[in-house]
Structure 1
Amino acid sequence: MRSTARRVLVRAQVLTLGLLVLAGCAGGPQGVLTPLRVDPAAFGASRIDMLVATTRQAVDDPAFLYGGERGPNLSLLDMEISIPPDANRKIGEVQWPKRLPPNPARDFTTLLANPMSAHQSRTWLNENLTPSRNVLIFVHGFNNRFEDSVYRFAQIVHDSGADVTPILFTWPSRASVFGYNYDKESTNYSRDALETLFREVAKDPRVREVTVMAHSMGTWLAVESLRQMAIRDGRIAAKIHNVILASPDIDIDVFRQQWIQFGERKPHFTIFVSTDDKALAVSRILAGNSRLGAVNPAEEPYKSEFEKAGIDVVDLTGQGGSDYLNHSRFAESPEVVQLIGRRLINGQTVTDSHVGVGEAIGAVAIGATQAVGQTASAAISLPIAVVDPTTRRNLGDQFDAAVDSTAGTLEAARP
């Protein structure tokens, strides 16, 4: 009986992972990182210059630069990415080339990929500080190739309009939905390196403040690195003012303990949650406990805990979008990514008395929220064309039904 249940569980997991593959596949060629020597301004394109720090193992192919295996040391690069003009793209989307070489007028294009030493990276940081002298460090999530993380972060920086110096930390992911355990261990492998990056950036005298933003499994890495810093140094570096966790794939009980270990002087935390996040639903089934990014902040005990901790929570449940997993709304929704750039990176909350309905994120209403003290369970009203089920593609509806059915099978098969 137990072996039968086990076989059902394994088959259901494989089915679920297969569905995630179908949902996450992107068309077009891979290996897009060979620099194209062009002036993006000639195509009406924008340029994003970022520092990339990675614990991945380098590969010989310049079109890929780094793979999914673990490198022995932290590597640093100066990378420049060209973003197509806004007239030729949708805010929140990465325009992958359909063929190579890319066309900067319509495709994301790599312009520069130069390795740097630690000394050169400090020089780069000082030369690229914006007038705000704020730094944004981004940590990507599960199932990401190196190029995925680079292009996604370039999109976030561009679309948010944030006045920041961008730094990407990318850890060894095998970019496979079957590699969940490997990826999780890779985040543990990378904790010391990310903690060092946090410390080095924060101690630079010209840097005014640092925002840490992480997504999915990358939130575990970011929070663990901050916890290590707090234990090692007695506190999280004072310049790390803001921490943004998007769809955090962290066990809720573990996060409670991490929060205590941060100590008394903590950064300001904002968490984006979705109770309909299908990726976190699968993670909960596999891990056996609730994930921080899938809790309902209007329910107890979470409501009181968030209020007491002073954590801002933005609930994106039911907001639709192009991601059938409902796992990347923070980056793909034009309204939300602009909220991140206009307010959260600058240390502002989403529900203070200076924000009226619709002001915070343009076309959406976030002022009239279920605000409880410092906690904002944001009832964001996206345009009806996005939310109305009649506008959704048939594939999205079929995928929803398949995942819901599979999740039920997994629950039934658990011993």
Structure 2
Amino acid sequence: MPEKMDLRVRTRRFAGPGRAASALVTLLLLAGCGGHAKGVMTPVAVANPATTSQVDMLVATTRQPSGDPATLFSGERSPTLSLTDVAVSIPPDSRRKPGTVQWPRRLPPNPDSDFAVTRVRELPSRDEARNWFREHTADGHVLLFVHGFNNTYEDSVFRLAQIVHDSGAQATPMLFTWPSRARVLDYNYDKESTNYSRTALEDALWSLARAPEVKDVTILAHSMGTWLTMESLRQMGIRDGGIAPKIKNVILASPDIDLDVFAKQFVELGERRPKFTIFVSQDDRALAVSRLISGDVSRLGAIDPTAEPYRTQLERAGITAIDLTKVQSGDRLNHGKFAETPEIVQLIGQRIVKGQTLTDSQVTLGDGISAVVAGTAKNVGTVAAATISAPVKILEEPVSRRKRPKLGETLQSGTGAAAAAN
């Protein structure tokens, strides 16, 4: 086998009928899931506020209002951005396991044992949103969460509340929720909804960057939400030659992004980029399904971070990668480990949001992943090897100087090298 080759050929050579059948079975299982209680957005009173915790968040959405206070917003698309002040009560730690969302078994929810919405207030103007930030941004740090595929409005609200509470992040929470129909078979609709929402997210990021109360922004994006995040940042980079300086950190958890595409997105952010951290897992069954329906091209969140040339490429690009393959969690699809593993979500809140590297002796993550996480680059703080898909030449060479390859040419140092095997 030649030393240099188009890695996409190698990827597809090992993608046989067994893998396709397994992915199809997973898709069918997903479609058959019963789910949890629906319609939890109607506020309830908390009888024992001293025993519960509360997470206040600003929610921005491109979803269409549902007209029902129990759901607030549907999975359809709205031409205007809606802003809402939402408060979520979280039961005592003695009543729940960290990393889990305690969905109510019946409605209305019981705040002593369930996650429960305690306040919903529409913010019809940007001035009111700015006032909200003045009231809630004590230290100037903002954590913006962008959810993934197959999420309702309430799914994303409760997930962000859980992440903020369990991580201990000293940051103002903001949610950007895009129009997902929350149906497994609507994957393509959801993907187009992320494209529909690109400019709205970019505008929201610019608003944060211009707010005097905000010192820095960390973006935490999951699954298909990582595509939306990269596209919005790419737009910002193309318009302005780089990313707004206040956007300090970008965390991509289980990124559902074609490797070739991520390579180009990363370059087109411009020379002024935030710090990137990527959480990957080779046993992610949801990304296996995504790969199957996306032309059998590997997804960024499912590659092997120990394989070259990616290890070296990531170090040179300054991107941190954390491999969660050996981490056990309660997620049977292995797609939400970043939020459902207490040590990982605490790492996000206590280290990454503050812009700290992950290669020093202060990182303690528990027996489940202590053997997986290890620093490899003195200058960029790479964890558990390289996960970047873009080759070094593309990362270092300006877009205007690159030559377009001829049709069929092996992209040994171009975007074709991005498609590594799972």
TM range (shorter): 0.7 to 0.9
- Residue deviations 1:103-150, cap 9 Å, x none? 1110000001111021100110111003x3100110000000110000
Structure 1 residues 368 and 248 mapped into 2: Cα distance closer, same or farther (>3 Å)? closer
2:314 matches 1:306: yes
Report the Cα offset of residue 323 of structure 1: 0.7
Q: Answer yes or no: is the 8 Å Cα contact 1:40–1:47 preserved in 2.
A: no
Q: Answer yes or no: is the 8 Å Cα contact 1:297–1:313 preserved in 2.
A: yes
What's the counterpart of residue 282 of structure 1? 289
Q: Answer yes or no: is the 8 Å Cα contact 1:144–1:175 preserved in 2.
A: yes
What's the counterpart of residue 337 of structure 1? 345
Give runs of aligned pairs for residues 94-133 of structure 1, distance below 5 A.
Answer: 94-116=101-123, 117-130=125-138, 132-133=139-140
Alpha-carbon separation, structure 2, partners of 1:223 and 1:9: 28
What's the counterpart of residue 45 of structure 2? 37
2:265 is paired with a residue whose SS is helix
What's the counterpart of residue 406 of structure 1? none
Which of 369, 373, 381 pairs up with 2:374?
A: 369
- The CA RMSD measured in Å over matched residues stands at 2.1
Report the Cα offset of residue 58 of structure 1: 0.3
Which of 68, 81, 106 pairs up with 1:74?
A: 81
Alpha-carbon separation, structure 2, partners of 1:125 and 1:276: 39
What's the counterpart of residue 148 of structure 1? 155
- Residue deviations 1:141-179, cap 9 Å, x none? 000011000000000000000000000000000001100
Farther off after superposition, 110-119 or 217-226: 110-119
Alpha-carbon separation, structure 2, partners of 1:164 and 1:40: 25
What's the counterpart of residue 189 of structure 1? 196
Report the Cα offset of residue 263 of structure 1: 1.1
Aligned length: 364
Alpha-carbon separation, structure 1, partners of 2:177 and 2:146: 6
Q: Answer yes or no: is the 8 Å Cα contact 2:142–2:173 preserved in 1.
A: yes
In percent, how many aligned pairs have the same letter? 56
2:122 is paired with a residue whose SS is strand
Structure 1 residues 201 and 285 mapped into 2: Cα distance closer, same or farther (>3 Å)? same
Q: Report the residue type matching 2:29 in the other structure.
A: L
1:78 is paired with a residue whose SS is strand
Report the Cα offset of residue 318 of structure 1: 2.3
What's the counterpart of residue 416 of structure 2? none
- Residue deviations 1:368-414, cap 9 Å, x none? 61524432117xxxxxxxxxxxxxxxxxxxxxxxxxxxxxxxxxxxx
1:266 is paired with a residue whose SS is coil
2:76 is paired with a residue whose SS is strand
Report the Cα offset of residue 335 of structure 1: 0.7
- Residue deviations 1:52-106, cap 9 Å, x none? 0000000111000001000120000000000001011000000000011111110
Report the Cα offset of residue 12 of structure 1: 8.0
Structure 1 residues 367 and 272 mapped into 2: Cα distance closer, same or farther (>3 Å)? closer
Q: Report the residue type matching 1:98 in the other structure.
A: R
Q: TM-score, length-normalised on structure 2?
A: 0.82
Alpha-carbon separation, structure 2, partners of 1:346 and 1:136: 10
What's the counterpart of residue 177 of structure 2? 170
Q: Report the residue type matching 1:365 in the other structure.
A: S
Report the Cα offset of residue 301 of structure 1: 2.1
Q: Answer yes or no: is the 8 Å Cα contact 1:40–1:82 preserved in 2.
A: no
Alpha-carbon separation, structure 2, partners of 1:133 and 1:253: 35
What's the counterpart of residue 167 of structure 2? 160
Report the Cα offset of residue 9 of structure 1: 12
Q: Report the residue type matching 1:275 in the other structure.
A: Q
Q: Answer yes or no: is the 8 Å Cα contact 1:350–1:360 preserved in 2.
A: no
Q: Answer yes or no: is the 8 Å Cα contact 1:51–1:166 preserved in 2.
A: yes
What's the counterpart of residue 93 of structure 1? 100
What's the counterpart of residue 247 of structure 1? 254
Q: What are the ranges of 5 or more consecutive residues in structure 2 without an aligned counterpart?
A: 1-17, 386-422
Alpha-carbon separation, structure 1, partners of 2:211 and 2:373: 40
Q: Report the residue type matching 2:316 in the other structure.
A: K
What's the counterpart of residue 360 of structure 1? 364
Q: Report the residue type matching 1:64 in the other structure.
A: T
Alpha-carbon separation, structure 2, partners of 1:18 and 1:283: 13
Report the Cα offset of residue 366 of structure 1: 6.6
Which of 314, 334, 337 pairs up with 1:326?
A: 334
What's the counterpart of residue 225 of structure 1? 232
Alpha-carbon separation, structure 2, partners of 1:14 and 1:248: 20
Alpha-carbon separation, structure 2, partners of 1:368 and 1:245: 17
What's the counterpart of residue 67 of structure 2? 60
Q: Answer yes or no: is the 8 Å Cα contact 2:41–2:154 preserved in 1.
A: yes
What's the counterpart of residue 291 of structure 1? 299
Q: TM-score, length-normalised on structure 1?
A: 0.84
Structure 1 residues 334 and 12 mapped into 2: Cα distance closer, same or farther (>3 Å)? closer
Alpha-carbon separation, structure 1, partners of 2:282 and 2:89: 35
- Between 1 and 2, higher relative CO (CA 8 Å, sep ≥ 6) is seen in 2
Report the Cα offset of residue 285 of structure 1: 1.6
Alpha-carbon separation, structure 2, partners of 1:368 and 1:261: 29
Structure 1 residues 226 and 368 mapped into 2: Cα distance closer, same or farther (>3 Å)? closer
Q: Report the residue type matching 2:290 in the other structure.
A: S
Alpha-carbon separation, structure 2, partners of 1:204 and 1:368: 36
Report the Cα offset of residue 38 of structure 1: 2.8
